[in-house]
Structure 1
């Protein structure tokens, strides 16, 4: 494949021998040093660190809230435009004529489970219930909405957070890397996505900085995922065993329980990542999807029943008809008291999610690029954006929608609404099933949370090693997998110790800012690489 314009092969320095063989020492060591420095600050100065995180969150929401909203909207519009272009069906992520390395089913399972698996289970019931009680529409409504209207409104905002915006974010990163690495033979590392813009300058400090920022974003994203999953595991174990070790009287998991669950989850993740993509994450992801489908079936069969289909269609129609407004609305806190509440809700939910998806984008993008060689641009966008969106819609209608229907018809009697965040899914199971069946499903949920944590952590470690090694296969060593797992566990434990689960949102909102700027540049780089591919195709 001939290179066009600034699309030149990068030569990134890696160590030829020793412990860091195959790695770029600046990127690998700098990232570990920064992360361990943050761990030390959190442990040694917990009060000051917690206050600083809160201050940074407030500043970020003030300065970058609108940036997050409009950037994510740009990703959606870009992907929608690209998928309808005729050239999207001809240009391949790889040399012309390349064929996919994985079956479509295996590809979708790996992408979906590794990219978003834990979160979709954590918020399956809790988020729809939260939006049922409070969302921008019912905050600003002149009259009180009926229960059915509230259910549709709640799901529409869930779909805002888990729909096209999230997957467009991943798709842009995956496209940038897939084109650069598979079609233009660049190393599988984040800086390669910006080669059309900066060329050989990425071989030096600028490229090192981009990779370091990407690794820190991955660490922030996977830390959030792990903590939210651990909270659910501990809550589930407290429900199953009745032990106060897993949750206190208020229903909050104590730090000791969270740290114990963290050690178990990270240990299993190490075994998974050492076994490789084919055996580790592929099997784990497919098993996780199968278990999740079983959970969804139980919720629909014993919860909402056939009414789920109507709720799904109505909420989906509302989402797509209101999409341009939904993804571009930024509430003005100074307009009125209601607008101030709406903006507070947006910071707590939407901006948190946009930051989470942006932080997830480096490792999901790397992973998607690795497994998507041979896919056309259109196939990639449909598989990485539209299919997962449909899966998310069905999932939340079946799980959270069933819970809302139980509340709407009076069956739940307010019990799901009154339950704490981490207990809502277990409360819904208790209401749907007899005690014996509920016990089995709650045990399945605890196990599924663990499986999805392992899948996401495995994918994150694979991406971290790939970026730190500039895509070199020589860095695929078990020792580095274990070391990165320990680093992730250390920062996760430190954040939990300082501010508990609540501090995770603050860390995420702040931590995603630097990588969001890199993602904006990726949009430009993708356009340049597609233009180069089209010119090459015309000459051929």
Structure 2
């Protein structure tokens, strides 16, 4: 590790003229080339690509399943420890004199919006319902199928403090180094305490390139899952099997058509100014999402829904210390292999998704948190969004589970394909006319969230490609990245449809997971150094007092 002072600002090469003015051409070009080559390989030989992708996923699960589980478990413990350290109440994401740029209410609202994207709508009903049929508790014989608390507990596991601790680690490492030590706002800056000036060269370029590739893996997953839900919703609204058959499998032509529509809206957002466009669309998405939540609250048994929220929440907290480090396998019991498969299908996928999303969510959280103390940041970035996620799933997913438990649904939700479960729930909650309107609103919301997430990803990719520098809107660069993202999304769908996206995610998140582990070490080094300075200052003050 370099011994250069961590306060030295990195000097990262950017070009001063030409097409890449303001950007680091090495990072920008190599990222595009890698994705383009991957797209060409997928298109040239889809059958071989699907086989190789499946093999890579199997290999990744064999080698890195425990790594993913334990890494996020360590992140949760690290955030819990950091919160209680005395220095965390003093150390800021910025200079000691810096004050927060946003009010606490606005800051918390942006925190929630940053990480709550399309996934929370995709899995709002489907995940709790799936866990009510099979989960590790059921496989171990600890509970029977249909148990609401168990189903919601595992949903909370995937959307709780593990996910938000993942985001917090990236944001903390960036905030402490960029705001506190004046480093450029790009991923390599998070590792300055470990590698110093070495990050100005190829090492830093590798970090930034891997960060961009992780973002692309994450946004590809988000887009594909959203397109699946849009096509399924349109098939329900129109009755046409062009959009999806009723086994829940949208044909490729429908997925590609929906993608082109979404891409056109993203391009419009970019041409109007990416930052302005994504802000407007994100605010609209949040407003519509809360409208959907309100409808479910007003039409459902609020007392029972909130009772389920409390029961599952307490069970989740009680079992969290061991749950975050549980790796299922043959040693887990008679059904250990089935538990391990469940974990690969759900938990490992989610952990990989959070890791892939962490670069651009963490970058955003760091940007808006200048002047906040470490303790304040962790409480705001981990606790508040976790509670909001729990309320969301308890309301939408809880409504579906109660409809089944009370015999009203009679298996209609449980037996529906993944992409149809939310629409089936709406049919049972509302009268037919209102249900049609609500299903149209949900389809619209999926489209908004795809556009918002893609636009936000492009902003982050451009920021990393520009080495954290403030560059012009450069709409052409944004449009090129939109086309690159569309290319890889279309290629993945062509190879294996919606199912291939899980394989891409699990494999693609591995490199950045290593970078995140180093980010945690970087944070600990900065915090320990700040704690030593604080202790020395206290000791000096006591000496002066005695004197």
Task: Tell me the TM-score normalized by structure 2.
Answer: 0.94
Instruction: Report the counterpart of residue 487 of structure 2 in structure 1.
Output: 490
Q: What does residue range 285-304 of structure 1 map to in structure 2 within 5 Å?
A: 285-304=282-301
**In the aligned structure 1, how far is the partner of 2:268 from the partner of 2:87?**
42
Residue 127 (1) aligns with residue 146 (2): no
Once the two structures are TM-superposed, the CA of residue 450 in structure 1 deviates from its matched residue by 1.2
Q: Which moves more between the two structures, 372-381 or 194-203?
A: 372-381
**In the aligned structure 2, how far is the partner of 1:332 from the partner of 1:449?**
36
Q: Choose from 523, 526, 529 the match for 1:529.
A: 526
Once the two structures are TM-superposed, the CA of residue 524 in structure 1 deviates from its matched residue by 0.7
Which runs of no fewer than 5 residues in structure 2 stay unpaired? Answer: 539-547
Which runs of no fewer than 5 residues in structure 1 stay unpaired? Answer: none
**In the aligned structure 1, how far is the partner of 2:523 from the partner of 2:270?**
30
Instruction: Report the counterpart of residue 257 of structure 2 in structure 1.
Output: 260
Residue 309 (1) aligns with residue 306 (2): yes
Q: Which moves more between the two structures, 364-373 or 10-19?
A: 364-373
Instruction: Report the counterpart of residue 327 of structure 2 in structure 1.
Output: 330
Q: Choose from 443, 446, 470 the match for 1:446.
A: 443
Residue 372 (1) aligns with residue 372 (2): no
**In the aligned structure 2, how far is the partner of 1:415 from the partner of 1:306?**
24
Once the two structures are TM-superposed, the CA of residue 272 in structure 1 deviates from its matched residue by 3.0
Deviations 1:61-111 (A, max 9, x none): 000000000000000000011112222222221122222223334333433
**In the aligned structure 1, how far is the partner of 2:214 from the partner of 2:184?**
20
Q: What does residue range 100-115 of structure 1 map to in structure 2 within 5 Å?
A: 100-115=100-115
Deviations 1:429-453 (A, max 9, x none): 0001100110111111111111111
Q: Which moves more between the two structures, 199-208 or 278-287?
A: 278-287
Conserved 8 A contact 2:156-2:316 = yes
Once the two structures are TM-superposed, the CA of residue 334 in structure 1 deviates from its matched residue by 5.6
**In the aligned structure 2, how far is the partner of 1:383 from the partner of 1:277?**
27
Conserved 8 A contact 2:4-2:197 = no
Instruction: Report the counterpart of residue 145 of structure 1 in structure 2.
Output: 144
Q: Which moves more between the two structures, 82-91 or 444-453?
A: 82-91
Q: What does residue range 148-187 of structure 1 map to in structure 2 within 5 Å?
A: 150-187=147-184
Once the two structures are TM-superposed, the CA of residue 304 in structure 1 deviates from its matched residue by 3.8
Instruction: Report the counterpart of residue 36 of structure 2 in structure 1.
Output: 36
Conserved 8 A contact 2:6-2:181 = no
**In the aligned structure 2, how far is the partner of 1:350 from the partner of 1:235?**
25
Conserved 8 A contact 1:303-1:403 = no
Once the two structures are TM-superposed, the CA of residue 279 in structure 1 deviates from its matched residue by 2.7
Once the two structures are TM-superposed, the CA of residue 276 in structure 1 deviates from its matched residue by 4.9
Aligned to 1:417, the other structure's residue is in SS state coil
**In the aligned structure 2, how far is the partner of 1:265 from the partner of 1:20?**
27
Once the two structures are TM-superposed, the CA of residue 267 in structure 1 deviates from its matched residue by 2.3
Deviations 1:141-184 (A, max 9, x none): 16x5274xx11000000000000000000000000011111111
How many residues are paired up? 535
Conserved 8 A contact 1:115-1:364 = yes
Instruction: Report the counterpart of residue 428 of structure 1 in structure 2.
Output: 425
Instruction: Report the counterpart of residue 17 of structure 1 in structure 2.
Output: 17
Runs of 4+ in 1 over 4 A off after TM superposition: 273-278, 334-337, 534-540
**In the aligned structure 1, how far is the partner of 2:336 from the partner of 2:201?**
46
Instruction: Report the counterpart of residue 361 of structure 1 in structure 2.
Output: 358
Instruction: Report the counterpart of residue 318 of structure 2 in structure 1.
Output: 321
Residue 205 (1) aligns with residue 202 (2): yes
Aligned to 1:349, the other structure's residue is in SS state helix
What do you get for the CA RMSD once the two structures are aligned? 1.8
**In the aligned structure 1, how far is the partner of 2:87 from the partner of 2:298?**
44
Q: Which moves more between the two structures, 269-278 or 501-510?
A: 269-278
Residue 221 (1) aligns with residue 221 (2): no
Once the two structures are TM-superposed, the CA of residue 534 in structure 1 deviates from its matched residue by 4.2
Conserved 8 A contact 1:304-1:398 = no
Conserved 8 A contact 2:93-2:369 = yes
Instruction: Report the counterpart of residue 406 of structure 1 in structure 2.
Output: 403
Instruction: From the superposition, tell whether residues 273 and 300 of structure 1 become closer, same or farther in structure 2 (CA, over 3 Å).
Output: same
Task: Tell me the TM-score normalized by structure 1.
Answer: 0.96
**In the aligned structure 1, how far is the partner of 2:374 from the partner of 2:265?**
35
Conserved 8 A contact 1:109-1:289 = no
**In the aligned structure 2, how far is the partner of 1:432 from the partner of 1:335?**
40
Instruction: From the superposition, tell whether residues 470 and 47 of structure 1 become closer, same or farther in structure 2 (CA, over 3 Å).
Output: same
Once the two structures are TM-superposed, the CA of residue 490 in structure 1 deviates from its matched residue by 0.7
Q: Choose from 236, 240, 244 the match for 2:237.
A: 240
Once the two structures are TM-superposed, the CA of residue 245 in structure 1 deviates from its matched residue by 1.9
**In the aligned structure 1, how far is the partner of 2:303 from the partner of 2:364?**
37
**In the aligned structure 1, how far is the partner of 2:484 from the partner of 2:519?**
28
Instruction: Report the counterpart of residue 510 of structure 1 in structure 2.
Output: 507
